[in-house]
A and B are shown apart, each in its own frame.
Chain A
Amino acid sequence: MVGIVGFGAYLPRYRIKAETIAKQWGMDPIAIVRGLQLNEKTVPGQDEDTITISVAAAKNALLRAQIDPQEIGAVYIGSESHPYAVKPSGATLIDAIGIGPHVHVASYEFACKAGSEAMYVAANLVKAGEMKYALGIGADTSQGAPGDALEYSASAGGAAFIMGSEKVVAEILFTHSYTSDTPDFWRREGEDYPRHGGRFTGEPAYFKHIMGAGRALLEKSKLKPQDFKYAVFHMPNGKFPQEVGKRLGFTKEQLEVGWIVPWMGNTYSGSSPTGLAAILDVAKPNDLIFMVSFGSGAGSDGFIYRVTKEITKVQNRALKLRDYLNNDKIYLDYGQYAKFRKKIKLNE
């Protein structure tokens, strides 16, 4: 049995309300909040980035797994906001956690699905018998240009998953990936902010790829949507995951626990992974979980997990996603937010 043996999430304490951003740009806050179904989003502290978020999430995963970090054979971090263009984020993480130096490390990039890629490769290395444990992380401090629709959603956070074959808390039963060349969202080398195709990011991108991976996963597993206790999809806003869940045959109740986007925003590579962490925080033995990520460009990775009896032993060993989501929030005004996100041009 191969699957998750430890999981952990982390969200920064800082928040900005969608209403605050809307007022800054002269937009109607009520229409924005209702249209995108986003109330507020996380903002990274001035001293936080993908590396620090990954370290915090990985520490929580280790608290749950209670394994020797030296037994981790691979560390993969998926993000579209790696602090370095050249230098893997995982190289810093391993020294912070005490993993390695006998370890394989790489940074992954595939817009918002880089985290699920890291999880997929980590799990399959364990399955292939190459190593005892592998760590897959999805984390981001997402960028959104000032005044762009993305500014309401682009947030910060991440989740880490230690894959192994002993004391598995959620077995990976099936996976499926679906990819095509779809230019819905991109960021060229050296650009500060991504560009997107507006409404083109919907039907031909998000919905086509999640439906493609999701339908194939159901077919492969011979399971029906009603067999699952929970489902989680990539969450670029509040609306899309609800709509794609409905189209695949899932109910609002199945989506509710992992649907954290209205209060967190879109953590890009950390989006569906943090949703999965929120589900694992409360899941019970034998629950089935359906997860499909989405990354622009474009592709989706689908996973079906079965929760094991080990889950109840690990759930309270670390802070839960909703502990971070609901507690100790520090709200920023737009000026503070612009400073935190380095959107203000300063003298050198």
Chain B
Amino acid sequence: MITARYHREIPQRYRLEAGKCAKCGYVAFPPRLVCPKCKTKKFKTINLKDEGKILTYTIIRVGPDKFSKETPYAIGIVEVSDGVRLTTQIADVDVEKLKIGQKVKLVFRKIQDDGKAGIHMYGYKAVLV
């Protein structure tokens, strides 16, 4: 990930900023320019609540190069407020004990490093509550 793209995504990755359609209330995360439901272009910026539940998950046992030393780790789909669903790592957990439906909280964590000398990149991960 290049620094410019990382910088552009900070509102979503750091603060869970989403767009709420001013007409029909559809919540887009990340924000969209046009509402996929009612086609309006008026959105209000909201912050998603940081609590949700695990809809499903998978355990990564052979990770991509950058994450190969962190296996096994869990990636899940978490549903938060307004029906928004996020794909995120579920951290600080014995992956064998995870269950669908468990309540989680989204916390601020380091996602990856851009190599040994590049920037640290942060964002949200889920932890059990």
* Residues in chain A within 8 A of chain B (CB atoms): 12-14, 45-49, 51-52, 55-56, 59, 83-84, 92, 95-96, 98, 328, 330, 339, 346, 348
Inter-chain contact B120/A84, CB cutoff 8 Å: yes
- Segment among B54-62, B77-85, B108-116 that sits at the interface with chain A: B108-116
The answer to whether the Cβ of B98 comes within 8 Å of any Cβ in the partner chain is no
Tell me the bound Cα distance from A231 to B120 in angstroms: 38
B66-92 vs A, Cβ < 8 Å mask (1 yes, 0 no): 000110000000000000000001011
B91 touches which one: A45, A328, A346 (CB < 8 A)? A45
Which of chain A's residues have a CB closer than 8 A to the CB of B107? Answer: 52, 56
Asked whether any CB of chain A lies closer than 8 Å to the CB of B26, the reply is: no
Lowest 9 CB-CB distances: which A-B pairs, in order? Answer: A47-B109, A96-B14, A55-B108, A47-B110, A13-B92, A96-B108, A95-B14, A52-B109, A83-B120
- Within the assembled complex, what's the spacing in Å between the Cα atoms of A47 and B112? 8
B14: which A residues are within 8 A, CB to CB? 92, 95-96
- Cβ of A48: which chain B residues have Cβ within 8 Å of it? 109-110
**Number of A-B contacts defined by CB within 8 Å:** 49
Q: Say whether B70 contacts A46, CB under 8 Å.
A: yes
Contacts of A330 in B (CB 8 A): 92, 94
- Pair A45/B92 contact, Cβ less than 8 Å: yes
Distance between A344 CB and nearest chain B CB, rounded to angstroms: 9
User: Given contacts A96-B14, A339-B69, are A49 and B92 in contact (CB under 8 A)?
Assistant: no
For A344, the closest partner residue in chain B by CB is B69
The contact sample of 20 A-B pairs, CB cut-off 8 A, is A13-B92, A14-B92, A46-B70, A47-B89, A47-B109, A47-B111, A47-B125, A51-B120, A52-B109, A52-B110, A56-B107, A59-B108, A83-B120, A92-B122, A95-B14, A96-B108, A96-B122, A328-B92, A328-B128, A330-B92
Measured between beta carbons, the chain B residues less than 8 angstroms from A96 are 14-15, 108, 122
B10 at the interface (CB under 8 A from A): yes
CB-based contact A346/B110 at 8 Å? no
Q: Which of B10, B47, B94, B122 contacts A52 (CB 8 A)?
A: B122
Residue numbers in A under 8 Å from B69 (CB-CB): 339, 346
> With A and B bound together, what is the CA distance between A52 and B10 in angstroms?
15
User: A12 contacts which chain B residues (CB < 8 A)?
Assistant: 92
